[in-house]
Structure 1
């Protein structure tokens, strides 16, 4: 097959974190070919301006240099040529996240949005990618992992791959390096789990547990799966966490301590490993909910500018609801473990004053400028469409179950939306998700959606959970580590003194990450970014410990730096708020937890 567009990617200098990329266009535009690099990557809703990492670029045709004119921050136009046009460019790759590109002597990774220029007019043409090994003989054991369709590759995976079009090309990230690979089949579909980084872990256990998650999700939406094979690419390091979904793979980063330890007993899942399994479940669920079913604003993606939609709550929030629920329904955790996770989510949302200022619809629409660009005031001004979106999904699920006597649920809606996508492959227009939910449930859901999506009124979670045999209580936290829990019996909680801040250790003392609205610290004039060095004349490294012997209403003297200026603040300690969720499961259990 002769490809209209051919790419060549070479790990030029791992020490300097440089990929060399070439792009050849067989028949470029007669008036001069325009090329551009995406400004953002699907699944991460912020303008990232990947073109800033191109450190050198040139064009040639027939062995002669071709003039390139830069049109804007991420676009170029080559002078008209007869015959093939080739672009050569160098990309700096040192972004350890799942969104960009990375290269050093230990590992390489890239998303296509970071390295592959798009040739205008050729977006729908098939293309070829030749992935070359690094030149250093010390890296001779490097391999390739990707869900791209191979054309002609070596055992190591280096060689030629193909994509049906540019959109497909950039939706298959690539992992390079020495890594471990474990495989399994889920509903007959081959899956690979690639793990890179330094670690000690039981990868067979990881594969077995992931298989249970994958099979439950495939069967939930209905076989066959929407892909022929699937690749998990996990890099483990220190304190890192994140994931990004793709059509037949996902890129993950996590703490090495979150991997299952060798010798872990059957059924034993620590909190760290549970967090990793939740991430795996979340990104895999996106294979249906956002990689196929998606807002009309993303069909097709316009990667040159923001794609605003009020529907992110439905695609990220609902996915955040099902990610933990899938762990329960596939048998990895029990009812109480799941409710413990739910209690933490409820606590996290209700502790943020931003929920009283921003609706879920606005949170979705403003993701580009607010959620992905958070600052010290964000807890006071925004709400997460992930976590509150998950609670909205929970509330909708329980509302539908209550109003239909258990005959229908959110599951019913999701399956109907999937069947619609299978039938027409179209994105959902603004408001269409809500209309579909009303249609398939037969319920007048507009009042619910107005409250949940377009108001800042708290969701009636206690009332809805009670219909399923789950009691909810909001109490002050027992301490700084208390983020919500499931209990056998409710008990009275004692009030503690609080400053009303979020903080983190600092070389000088404690840095205030956020000062919460209405709290004692804000009333005294402290601000996010201040560094507290002393409380009542004593050096401080832990604010909660520093005020633990004080009483509500006591006034403490705080010394803090703002920039390079030291100041003194008198803070009258307030009572801790009832912002921590306790859930209790009644003896008869909850049907919703099982199906």
Structure 2
């Protein structure tokens, strides 16, 4: 036993029952009482998840004798042990059946484990180095992958061993054990590894080719020396599902397997699903600098047993949401027209979002723990996304800075200062960091802008500056309920129902009702089954056709609610223009802005 390290062993106890086992060996120490705990949330995902609820068995024993040691569980995630300074062995079993990037999951093909879901913290020893040994997996074809530093560089098939300098670092390296495909490429001296779970004939070389200029962009933006020497894109492939979570030297992604390009497919065409995957990779890699190292003061050493509040998430997720897409266009992975359609879709989400007038981006950041991460069908009417509005705020700030300085200063310059001033040494940013940087470094007062669009609920006034980069912003009516915004050649609808829905056995099930529109005024509610308009049974297509061709000011709608038939009166009103799109008015101006990195 190493007397200067916490030693963890991870093994797959029973993959059929989604169980893994952990053995933690604690060296001799001076403390009479040891505090063991599991985090209740994972950095980057701001919701209390109570990971300790998945510990189904636990015991504490003396290291030398094997005798059990009494313990007290003092809350949902904390165990107290009177150790008398003796070395201890803690053995516990964890249930892992959450197919997401935030927790742990085991199936027939692989095991995925976040450290926050698996590894107990010893409060009195949390600054000690941590050593991890992974026991031989149940299947010979399974391999282990993580961005953690290896102890044995030969990656022995019998056992894998890894090392971290502290508990905080230890839990920031997700672990994959199972069947997978990998691909390695180098960018500016950094080794990038792609990992895809299972065997799906994914065109890994093509993905690496498209990711290379994206990686180059981020590395160039923040400059050398780089904080990483190796980076792992770890992708869990599933039939459905979407997610990404940043880590210090890696990211964990969840993505539909058939949205990615397969070997032999046409390389000249990128589907929307594939573009979204590249943008997701861009987003999480950007977090290597902007979240994992540049971070709010309260997130430098957060307490993972309870919520840690900040109103700065609009800076961190919002700015990253701006850069994830614009990087694809700057790098030539998508063209300018496609990029503008993506921005237009983000604006469209805001235009449909009445909650943007009730909650500011700063408030959205602070309330992420409840209102953003625990959304229900009413969310669009009551909250705003710090991702979506934050990205538009970043776009507007870039244009404002260029306007004030005749293109000498852009958001890129702000990011560079953020990195040099706060990120390299990870000292944490104050709430007013963006205003402070713009004033102190560039002599630009942006307080009026921030007060209006960040701390207030004003829309970002993009129209003030778009002409400077050769663009014009327009709005139009929707083509259909599935219309996400952007340019289209199809005619828009005439009349708007004002709710989202999905097919039911008969009729349509209402999933969302938009404040202020006809459906809400008529009294339509979420989970109603919409059966008919003027006694005509409806489908999604028929509903819109009947509305568009209505010749009266109102129509009768029939719904089923709680087992009862209810007739309501729906006003037939002109569809609002809530789908955004851009036109390029000056290609030279736009291309100049887009090319600037």
Taking structure 2 as the reference length, the TM-score comes to 0.95
Cα distance per residue 1:190-215 (max 9 Å; x no partner): 11100014534211101111122111
Which residue in 2 is equivalent to 1:529?
A: 527
Which residue in 2 is equivalent to 1:88?
A: 91
Matching of residues 425-444 of structure 1 within 5 Å: 425-444=426-445
Which residue in 2 is equivalent to 1:180?
A: 181
Which residue in 1 is equivalent to 2:127?
A: 124
Aligned equivalents of 2:166 and 2:508: distance in 1?
51
CA displacement at 1:340 relative to structure 2: 1.2
- Contact preservation (8 Å) 1:540, 1:546: yes
Which residue in 2 is equivalent to 1:576?
A: 575
SS in structure 2 of the partner of residue 219 of structure 1: helix
Aligned equivalents of 1:269 and 1:114: distance in 2?
36
- Contact preservation (8 Å) 2:3, 2:27: no
Matching of residues 273-284 of structure 1 within 5 Å: 273-284=274-285
CA displacement at 1:421 relative to structure 2: 2.6
CA displacement at 1:169 relative to structure 2: 0.5
Aligned equivalents of 2:373 and 2:414: distance in 1?
29
- Contact preservation (8 Å) 2:210, 2:333: yes
Matching of residues 142-153 of structure 1 within 5 Å: 142-152=142-152
**RMSD (CA atoms):** 1.9
CA displacement at 1:386 relative to structure 2: 0.3
The farther-off stretch of 495-504 and 345-354 is 495-504
Which residue in 2 is equivalent to 1:293?
A: 294
Matching of residues 285-324 of structure 1 within 5 Å: 285-324=286-325
Aligned equivalents of 1:302 and 1:540: distance in 2?
52
- Contact preservation (8 Å) 1:4, 1:27: no
Which residue in 2 is equivalent to 1:456?
A: 457
The farther-off stretch of 572-581 and 353-362 is 572-581
Structure 1: runs of 5 or more not aligned:
none
Matching of residues 169-318 of structure 1 within 5 Å: 169-197=170-198, 199-318=200-319
Which residue in 1 is equivalent to 2:411?
A: 410
Cα distance per residue 1:37-68 (max 9 Å; x no partner): 00100000111111111111111112111112
C-alpha change, 1:141 and 1:335, in structure 2 (3 Å) is: same
CA displacement at 1:495 relative to structure 2: 5.0
Aligned equivalents of 1:329 and 1:374: distance in 2?
34
Aligned equivalents of 2:158 and 2:570: distance in 1?
62
Cα distance per residue 1:338-361 (max 9 Å; x no partner): 111111111111111011111011
Aligned length: 588
SS in structure 2 of the partner of residue 407 of structure 1: coil
- Contact preservation (8 Å) 1:533, 1:540: yes
Aligned equivalents of 2:403 and 2:174: distance in 1?
43
CA displacement at 1:468 relative to structure 2: 1.1
Aligned equivalents of 2:29 and 2:51: distance in 1?
24
- Contact preservation (8 Å) 2:105, 2:113: yes
C-alpha change, 1:549 and 1:540, in structure 2 (3 Å) is: closer
Q: In the alignment, does 2:546 pair up with 1:549?
A: yes
Matching of residues 3-18 of structure 1 within 5 Å: 3-18=4-19
Cα distance per residue 1:550-579 (max 9 Å; x no partner): 346553333333344443323223322111
- Contact preservation (8 Å) 1:294, 1:427: yes
Cα distance per residue 1:328-384 (max 9 Å; x no partner): 111111111111111111111111101111101101111011000001110000000
- Contact preservation (8 Å) 1:259, 1:273: yes
SS in structure 2 of the partner of residue 99 of structure 1: coil
Cα distance per residue 1:499-544 (max 9 Å; x no partner): 21122334454222211111111112121222324444344442x5
- Contact preservation (8 Å) 1:179, 1:196: yes
Taking structure 1 as the reference length, the TM-score comes to 0.95
- Contact preservation (8 Å) 2:5, 2:27: yes
Matching of residues 133-172 of structure 1 within 5 Å: 133-134=136-137, 136=138, 139-152=139-152, 154-156=155-157, 158-172=159-173
- Contact preservation (8 Å) 2:219, 2:226: yes
Aligned equivalents of 1:143 and 1:524: distance in 2?
58
C-alpha change, 1:203 and 1:259, in structure 2 (3 Å) is: same
- Contact preservation (8 Å) 1:241, 1:254: yes
The farther-off stretch of 98-107 and 518-527 is 518-527
Aligned equivalents of 1:569 and 1:19: distance in 2?
54
Cα distance per residue 1:135-180 (max 9 Å; x no partner): x3xx221001100111126344842111100110010001111100
CA displacement at 1:256 relative to structure 2: 1.4
- Contact preservation (8 Å) 1:376, 1:529: no
Cα distance per residue 1:408-442 (max 9 Å; x no partner): 10011000111113554300011123211222221
CA displacement at 1:108 relative to structure 2: 0.5
CA displacement at 1:28 relative to structure 2: 4.8
SS in structure 1 of the partner of residue 373 of structure 2: helix
C-alpha change, 1:575 and 1:80, in structure 2 (3 Å) is: same
Aligned equivalents of 2:565 and 2:307: distance in 1?
42
